[in-house]
Amino acid sequence: MPPPQDQKDQIDTLRGVVEGMDLTREDLLMVLSSVVCMKKRKEDEKKGNKVITEKIYLWENTKDGYIYRDGRTKRGNYYLRIYFRETKKVFSKSLRTSSQEEGIVLGREMYQETYGKLQRGEKTKSITTKGLINLYLEREERRISPIHKTGITKET
């Protein structure tokens, strides 16, 4: 089956351009593969970030705190993300709401509390009961000593 007329005209035009140059088949394949790679890159750039979607800054004058939707989750809840420049640390936490207005209000409240803690050097993560028990047991294990009256015995 012969190619349609439009396609035949395009092939003839391409031949006319290529005939004047000293190009081999390998050169043409290399050019075509680079064009395909460039198109794929443009498509990837259009897709954007898969994790941070719907980015909303909490205040206009600062760019270190914003709320966003995580593109990997199904529920579409908002998350707070704070970047603290002095320590170069990132704080991220779920706001547990899918409402944009409620997310902004909660995000601003949590931002004020957390940013202050980050400035003072306080810990931003709380500890669970199991974690506290494990910390206690680790400290007590360090006190175990075989010498009497220098620590605690293993049986204790």
The answer to whether residues 77 and 97 touch, using CB atoms and an 8 Å cutoff, is: yes
Distance CA 109, CA 51 (A): 23
Distance CA 3, CA 14 (A): 15
3-state helix, strand, coil in the chain (%, to 5): 45, 15, 35
65: burial class by Cβ within 10 Å (0-12, 13-18, 19+)?
buried
User: What is the greatest pairwise CA distance in the chain?
Assistant: 100
- Per-residue pLDDT band for 16 (boundaries 50, 70, 90) equals confident
Sheet containing 52-57: which strands, arranged edge to edge?
52-57, 65-70, 78-84, 89-94
Is 28 or 1 the better-scoring residue by pLDDT?
A: 28
> What kind and span of H or E run contains 59?
none
Q: Where are the domains of the chain?
A: 52-120, 126-156
The pLDDT tens digits of the residues spanning 87-144 come to: 888 899 999 999 999 999 999 999 999 888 888 888 877 889 999 999 999 998 888 8
For 111-118, which contacts have Cβ atoms below 8 Å and span 24 or more sequence positions? 111/58, 111/65, 111/80, 111/82, 114/80, 114/82, 115/65, 115/82, 115/84, 118/82, 118/84, 118/87, 118/89, 118/91
Q: What is the model's pLDDT at position 100?
A: 93
- Per-residue pLDDT band for 48 (boundaries 50, 70, 90) equals low
**Six token digits for residue 99:** 């409402």
pTM above the 0.75 mark? no
